[in-house]
Structure formats: structure tokens, C-alpha cells
Amino acid sequence: MFQYIAQADDKPWQPGPYNGVELKILHKDESTGAVTVLRKFAAGAIIPAHTHPLANEWAYILSGEWEESEKVYTQGTLFHAPKGERHGPHKANTEVISLTHFDGPLTVE
């Protein structure tokens, strides 16, 4: 039996750190600050270049069309941004849903 189970439909969408971004927190480790979230980007949302100084980020595109450095990525793409490494800007060409894990607190600079 799994020690933790989350049903996405039971979790509310919350405002994300940028306009056009919403988060569903599926799990948060209170001891480390690590979070696993669903992220929803509205079509046309642009996220400026940024860093996550306290966490490595892993993002898997579940649906939609994501543009990164003039290249388009779709469902099935996995991204990794090491802690403190600048990445972006990102653009959601359509609504994008990703499953994303931060292995420490979700902070943005």
C-alpha cells in the first residue's frame, strides 16, 4: 500500500508565481519544502527567465504546446533545471499542463 495518495480532482487550483500560471499542490514535504504540483499555463502565458535558488526542478508536459528558445515541445517532454541555474523565458502556445517536482522550497528569483 502507498503511504500517500493524492487525487488531483480533490486539490484546488491556486495562483502561481506568475500571471497566467496556476498550481495544484499534490504533495508537500514539510521537512524539506519539496513540492510536487500540477501546473497550468494559460495559452499565451510568458514566464520570464528566472532561477529556483533552493530547488532542482523537473517538469513533464502532460498536454499542450510549450516554446523554449524558439523550439516547440509537446506532450511527453521532460525538462530539468538544476538549482540556481537560470532558465526561460518560456511561452505556452496553448494551454499547457505539466507535472512538476521541486526537491526543495519553491522560490523564484
| Tens-digit pLDDT profile for residues 30-88 | 999 999 999 999 999 999 999 999 999 999 999 999 999 889 999 999 999 999 999 99
State how far the Cα of 93 lies from the Cα of 22, in Å rounded to an integer.
16
Instruction: Write down the pTM of the prediction.
Output: 0.92
Domains of the chain with CATH codes = 20-102 (2.60.120.10)
- Whole-angstrom distance, CA of residue 19 vs CA of residue 77: 23
Distance CA 105, CA 29 (A): 9
What pLDDT, on the 0 to 100 scale, is given for residue 54? Answer: 96
pLDDT at 7 over 90: yes
Residue whose entry in the numeric block shows the C-alpha cell 528566472: 50
What per-residue confidence (pLDDT) applies to 69?
87
DSSP SS3 for 79: strand
